[in-house]
Amino acid sequence: MADTATAEPQLRPLVPHLTLGATRDEDYLNGAKCKNCNAVYAGPRMYCGKCSSAGPFESIKLSNTGKVHVWTIIHQATPYVKAPYIAAVVDLDGGGSVNTNIVGIEPTPENMSFDMKVKMFTEKVSEDREGNSYVAYKFTPA
């Protein structure tokens, strides 16, 4: 009789530019650094937006701290997403920018400012039908 055992459920990153470590404290954002002009990007890259070369690119570990470049408060979201929430672009210390949510504070304009310092953390956000868990990164005021 054929082996009907299914694969063990896995812990998976929600996006490819998040690398999971042995524990959530060891998770980090991965990026690519253009060896031609030193521009830094989140995730892998085929071409450099700064110098237009095809690299080569070096895979690097990005910082888990940064500053809010721009932000907005989302009041209407898709079903199953709790609103309001803060959507932001964070410029990471040392280079690279990521889209993210700012959590841990009430989503009000009074709590936000441009250039405010933030730090990343990761947590399990969902599970699929096979029992695999998905980990996402978020930022909170530093």
Question: Is 42 exposed, middle or buried, given 0-12, 13-18 or 19+ CB atoms closer than 10 A?
Answer: buried
Under 8 Å between Cβ of 122 and 138: yes
The nearest distance, CB 49 to Zn ion, in angstroms, is: 8
Question: Beta 28-34 vs 18-19: how paired, if at all?
Answer: antiparallel
Contact region for Zn ion (CB under 5 A) — 11-19, 50-58, 76-84, 100-108? Answer: 50-58
Q: Is 34 in the site for Zn ion (CB under 5 A)?
A: yes
* 29, 42, 48, 88: which one binds Zn ion (CB under 5 A): 48
Q: Residue 104 in 3-state DSSP? A: coil
* 19, 30, 36, 101: which one binds Zn ion (CB under 5 A): 36
Q: For binding to Zn ion (CB under 5 A), which residues are involved?
A: 34, 36-37, 39, 48, 50-51
